[in-house]
Structures are given as C-alpha cells and as structure tokens.
Amino acid sequence: MKSTAPCATRSGPDRRHLRIACPSDDLDAFLVLYCDGLETDIIGHVSDHDGFHGQIFGTPNAPYNVEFTKSALRVGRAPTHENVAVFHLPDPNAWVTAVARIQTVGFDPAHHIIL
C-alpha cells in the first residue's frame, strides 16, 4: 500500500503529537523510573476514565509523551523482553549520566550506544 499523504515537516497548530499508552500493575515503579531516572515531568493524569487511572509523563515541547494506566484488571508482565521503550540521547555524556541515574533508582537500562 502506498501513502498519498505528504511527508512534510509540520509545525504550528497542525503539529502532530504522539502519546503511547501502556497498562501496568505498578504505577509507582513508572513514577520513579520516568521522573527520577529519565527526568521527565508528570504532565497530566487519568482519574477514573472508564475504570482507568494513570499518569502521563513528558517534557516541555516534546512531540511525544507516555501514559501508564492501571485498572482493576491485572495485566502482568510484558509478553517478551523485546517490549521496550527506547530513548535516544544524542550526546554520549548525557547518555552516561542518564544510565547512572536509572541505575541509581533501581532499574537496569539497555547498554547500547549508537555513535
């Protein structure tokens, strides 16, 4: 299938924004990882939206944010180790600092650096 949509860079009021929403059984762990480890902000929350509660994490002016939700249903662990979120930090020094921060708060980051 071929797209007929133009592939231009968008800005202004038509700028696109991506939100990834994931269910979780442990919202507190994501609070620690995203706020303390990745230094994002809580930019919103979900409170009893069709039985879901959650937090939305992001940074100012970023074209994306991540939402973690919890409901009465247990979702369990990710089905494979390949279910990951990848954050690329172009500055190697920023990457080293972020890895140390993530480890300090008790998480094991992927150890891949792309130069």
The domains found in the chain, sorted by start residue, are 18-77+85-105 (3.10.180.10)
In the structure, how many helices (H) and strands (E) does the chain have?
Answer: 2, 4
Q: What is the pLDDT of residue 115?
A: 41
The pLDDT score that the predictor gives to residue 114 is 47
pLDDT of residue 108: 83
Token representation of residue 106: 């008790």
**CA nearest 113: which of 101, 102, 94?**
94
- In the predicted model, residues of the chain with pLDDT beneath 50 are 7, 114-115
Alpha-carbon dihedral of residues 71, 58, 110, 54, nearest 10 degrees? -10
CA 100 – CA 15 distance, rounded (Å): 34
**Residue among 84, 92, 83, 97 at smallest CA distance from 114:** 92
C-alpha neighbours within 13 Å on the C-beta side of residue 99: 13
- Within 8 A by CB and 6+ apart from 15, the residues are 63
Q: What is the pLDDT of residue 43?
A: 93
